[in-house]
Structure 1
Amino acid sequence: MSLFVFGHRNPDTDAICSAIAYADLLRQTGQPDALAACCGAPNKRTEYVLNTAGIAAPKIIMDVRPEVEDICRKETITASFGDAFFEAYRRMQEWDLRAIPVVDTDHRVVGVLSVLDLMELLFRDEGDPIKSRTVTTNLKKITNALGGSFQHEVDTERSDELLVMVGAMSSDGFTARMQQFDKDRILVVCGDRPTIQLPAIEQGVRGLVITGGFDLSPGLVELAKARGVSVLLSPFDTVNTTTRIRSSQFIDPAVDRQVVTLPAKMRVSEARVIVERSKQPVFPVVGDDGLLAGISFKSDVINPPRPRL
């Protein structure tokens, strides 16, 4: 919050010039946020002095009660629909935030994403063996989550509801298992196992993930190209690969769209009433243009810093 330097209530030339000079001194001696202010518009004489000196008039502040924009955190991060779990989670870790606003392409607030809601993506539908292995994402997000690469790629940015199947059984058993599902939804994960790789490619699955840092053989790559099967390479073992695939799913289902925002110009005393009644973990602050201007946590609003005068 800025440190405002005033003269007296009815500012004349002496009061305004002294406020400007003292604020400048403070900025040069350890108070970089010191700003000159006045309680009313300068008179004609003062305007003449300021114009002659080439100095801007101080900010007019008629009420020193803090507004939300005075206490909010203006530097923050955001998420957007279509972001992957691992992308949003890494940002939140880097900034040590437990919740962040979700914005559209115009930077307008459309929701809030919390760590707790984000974790629900990994553990939802645990009682359903099919839904618990289904991830809504695209192959490019999966490759990014794996830190891997493509050996062959087909339509990698298309969003899909993918059923992750680990090739950990006999070739015949796995083939029969694959035939129970829509081949365009199947993402097969296996290591260096040609007996699993071949039937998966012949089936025409959506993608084949080779784990353990292995490559697909040249002959099977050619077959994958003929069948339109994307081939992804993972440096991790099968267990870690499947975990990272789950972290590639879109955050959209975890976003709370019933979001409470705070106008930047709202008095902190008014905002306190709103946040005390809400369980929302973070409150996006929006400017007069409707765009995100910052964020405030409940503690920021309930226990704001005192105005500095």
Structure 2
Amino acid sequence: MQQTAHKVVVIGHRNPDTDSICSAIAYAELKNKTSDLVCEARRAGKMNQETEFVLKKFGVTPPRMCTDVNPKIRDVDYRQIPGIPGSTSLRKAWEIMRDQKIDTLAVTSEEDELQGVITVKDIATANMDLFDTGILAKSRTSYRNILETLGATMVVGSEDAVCTTGHIRIGTATPEMLESSMEKGDIVILTNRYESQLCAIEKEASLIIICNGAKVGRTIQHIAAETGVAIMSAPCDTYAAAKLISQCAPISYYMTRDNIIKFTLVSPVADVTRVMAKVRHRYFPILDADGKYCGMISRRNIINLRKRRIILVDHNEATQAVEGFDQAEILEIIDHHRIGSLETSGPVYFRNQPVGCTATIVTQMYDENGVTIPQKTAGLLLAAILSDTLVFRSPTCTPIDVNAANRLAKIAGVDINEFANEMFEAGEKLDGKTAEEVFLQDFKVFMCGDIRFGVAQGSYMTRKNLTAAEALLKPYLEEARNKQNVEDIYMLLTDVPKEESVVICNGRYAAEVLSDGFETQPAADASWTLPGVVSRKKQFIPALMTAYQEL
């Protein structure tokens, strides 16, 4: 059975800011209204306080976390073949394998808990063990299995009984020979010969199987019932019955119980492929999030893997993209940053405009498609524009951003200045937050040649909060640099009203790069004050890139 198509993930960069989250939500909504795709907004990291405030204000549920889009088993068209109970006969299991064209079945409980696996090799091995005449007793084979396998009917006794004693005997010879070979509790396969049937009863057989569909006399039935001997009538001859009788045993006796190689729906395909390459099995059971069996997977299923489909918003840098993006199918990129290092395996729809915010582009796309922007969505898009342009103070801000924000404010029913103050105040609160949490609120990694560096930014409406953030973050920078595996690391603390930024840094080249890039020297506390610098994208990063290239 084919799996239903996975939703297209619309997602922003790691350590998402308000634009990254809100643009993803709004664009997923637009795609669902204007295309055949089923899109879902996701986030590639923890939301910051500013974004949490915005979503709460407009009553929007936060997107689910998605930190890895590497293909998982859930992305593969695995076989949704039901598990079978351990009481199933070998014959029935083989018939299922034959009909389903599969050589391995999962053995499960009524609650779909995996108990073992049975393979066609296990069944073949069981059928070749011709001399184990006590197999039905050893495996506690149910009478129901025997009836089903032989196509027999119960004449005397209960269908619910189980074989617990005795060996299988073929009583085609004389009653005298049967009497000398039989033991109490044996299972005897007979024809319609009255004397042999009576002999088997007198020797206290546990079960008599009478072949060729022969009728069982009332006297025999009466004597058998009195002595506790069960009788079945089978339509096949004694040869067929003898061939089939061992196939009545339950698969639980032969199945593999321990060290079963199994996977979950979220197992990475790369890991599964490595395991499959080391073993000779063809099929492997899959468990869901609750540990319940849900299907089987083979190497052929892996070959037919469907890649995750994603749409990237607010970034096009490989260092900022969600883990596994290179193993996914990128459908679109909607962004307003410089063209970065991200590569795709094929052509994609790539929209990149020199505006202050991705949300501005998304707003344009609503208009271009003739889709009315809902009030909540307008609020999200407005928040993203105000956040990215620092309420129109950033040099990245364009008249397009301003016009879009004014129109969105009317739709959302909010005052821009009041809303912006509330949003920024919510975002700059440090109460109960660790240095790492503050630092990662808006952190991005960049590459210049072989040098990998990271830049975090925080925007503050009051100098008091900015100074408090600086004191909290300065001791943490070295740890952050090691954790993020970058050569240099920078923290851009932006004073929104004063339209300037205070920079603290750590790393091999950081101090030299800041001095060269901005032609200034640090203050006594080893921080740099950069008047007029409020945009990481348009002012800070270009200066760093130039300085790194001149190293």
Amino acid at match of 1:38: R
Q: Structure 1: how far apart are the matches of 2:43 and 2:26?
A: 13
Distance 1:98 1:80, change over 3 A: same
Residue type of the alignment partner of 1:68: I
CA contact (8 A) 1:72 1:285 kept: no
CA distance in 1, matches of 2:294, 2:9: 25
CA RMSD of aligned residues (A): 2.8
CA distance in 2, matches of 1:21, 1:254: 55
3-state secondary structure, aligned to 1:192: coil
Aligned partners of 2:21, 2:278: CA distance in 1, in Å?
Answer: 45
Match of residue 305 from structure 2: 304
With over 3 angstroms needed to count, the CA separation of the structure-2 counterparts of 1:204 and 1:288, relative to structure 1, is same
Q: How does 1:186-197 map to 2 (within 5 A)?
A: 186-197=186-197
Letter of the aligned partner of 1:92 in structure 2?
M
How many residue pairs end up in the alignment? 292
**Equivalents in 1 of 2:33, 2:191: separation in Å?**
67
Cα deviation for residue 113 of structure 1 reads 1.1
TM-aligned CA distance change 1:73 to 1:57, over 3 Å? farther
Q: Retained in 1: the 8 A contact 2:144–2:159? A: no
Long gaps (5+) in structure 1:
none
Secondary structure of residue in 1 paired with 2:309: coil
Structural mapping, 1:1-309, within 5 Å: 1-6=5-10, 9=13, 11-23=20-32, 25-26=34-35, 29=36, 34-40=38-44, 44-45=53-54, 51=60, 59-71=64-76, 73=78, 75-124=80-129, 126=130, 128=131, 131-132=132-133, 134-135=135-136, 136=139, 137-154=141-158, 156-160=160-164, 162-178=166-182, 182-184=183-185, 186-257=186-257, 258-301=259-302, 304-309=305-310
The answer as to whether partners of 2:165 and 2:206 remain within 8 angstroms in 1 is no
Query: Which runs of 5 or more structure 2 residues have no equivalent in the other structure?
Result: 311-551
Contact 1:74 1:294 (C-alpha < 8 Å) held by counterparts: yes
Seen in structure 2, the aligned counterparts of structure 1 residues 20 and 293 have a Cα distance that, compared at 3 Å, is farther
Does the CA-based 8 Å contact 1:143-1:150 persist in structure 2?
Answer: yes
What is the CA distance between 1:132 and its match in structure 2?
5.0
SS at match of 1:275: helix
Compute the displacement of 1:69 (Å): 2.8
TM-score normalized by the length of structure 2? 0.48
Length-normalised TM-score, structure 1: 0.81
Q: For the Cα contact (< 8 Å) 1:285–1:296, is it kept in 2?
A: yes
Deviations 1:193-252 (A, max 9, x none): 112111111211111111122221011111111111101011222222233322211213
Aligned equivalents of 1:298 and 1:110: distance in 2? 23
**CA–CA distance in structure 2, aligned partners of residues 162 and 25 of structure 1:** 72
Residues 120 and 254 in structure 1, CA contact (< 8 A), matched pair in contact too: no
Q: Residues 290, 7 of structure 1: CA spacing in aligned structure 2 closer, same or farther, 3 A cutoff? A: closer
**Structure 1 partner of 2:365:** none
Separation in structure 1 between the aligned mates of residue 7 and residue 294 of structure 2, nearest angstrom: 21
Choose between structure 1 and 2 for higher RCO, CA contacts under 8 A separated by at least 6 residues. Answer: 1
Give the Å deviation of 1:277. Answer: 1.4
Deviation at 1:14, TM superposition (A): 4.6
Identity of aligned residues (%): 17
Runs of 4+ more than 6 Å apart: none
| Higher Rg of the two aligned structures | 2
